[in-house]
Amino acid sequence: MNIDQFQTALKNKGIQITERQLQQFEQYYQLLIQWNKKVNLTAITEKEDVYLKHFYDSLSVAFYHNFEGKDYNLCDVGAGAGFPSIPLKIMFPKLQVTIVDSLKKRIVFLQHLVDQLQLDGVQLYHDRAEVFGQNPAHRERYDLVIARAVANLSVLSEYCLPLVKVGGVFLAMKGSSGMQELEDGKGAINRLGGRLIKQSVFRLPLEESERMIIHIKKEKHTPNKFPRKPGVPAKNPLM
């Protein structure tokens, strides 16, 4: 996906991108490639692939959830090189974004990226999701928690749902395994206080790979014992 195709594809979905935002995405790409030489940020480095599989894919969640004009307090768990929250912040500047990632080198990159792109309202935390979810300063404080390609849905729900305030939403961005993960994860979602609202299935343009966004509403407080200690959710997923 070249830049013109990126702009046109977003326009076709009702998202108008400004010249300044296009410049920010181009700067994002350049910084990603520069830093990727010394920090393992992504295996995807070809420009057209980055625009499709990182930038466009990150923004695809906005086709199914309204971000326009919203000042959501959003938390991105395991953002890695900033996906999906930094592309969303570029497109929807009113978002208040918190990013948590377990690797310090990625947080250092993200701080440099945020500074260079002059993005206000972005907070970065080097922490394990299991520890972060037990922190009273963050537990059940977010309108929206989002994650992309971090873990299977049962594990991811234990990372993310404790951070969502009651009445808020958890959005899990998945690939072709999404439907099976959803079937396996329904018990965990319920135990953690969530309820499935809907799932949105679509294909990325050009390459036609399948994507799924799972929309989960937080209806009850998450029991205090969740998330469990670091490493336990991945070793022993909730059923």
What are the binding residues? 78, 83, 129-130, 148
Q: Which residues are annotated as a binding site for S-adenosyl-L-methionine?
A: 78, 83, 129-130, 148
Burial of 77 (0-12, 13-18, 19+ CB in 10 A): buried
Sheet of 122-126, strand order: 122-126, 96-101, 73-77, 142-148, 164-174, 210-218, 194-203
Using alpha carbons only, how large is the chain's radius of gyration in Å? 17
Q: What is the C-alpha to C-alpha distance for residues 168 and 193, in angstroms, rounded to an integer?
A: 11
Cα 165 to its chain centre, rounded Å, is: 17
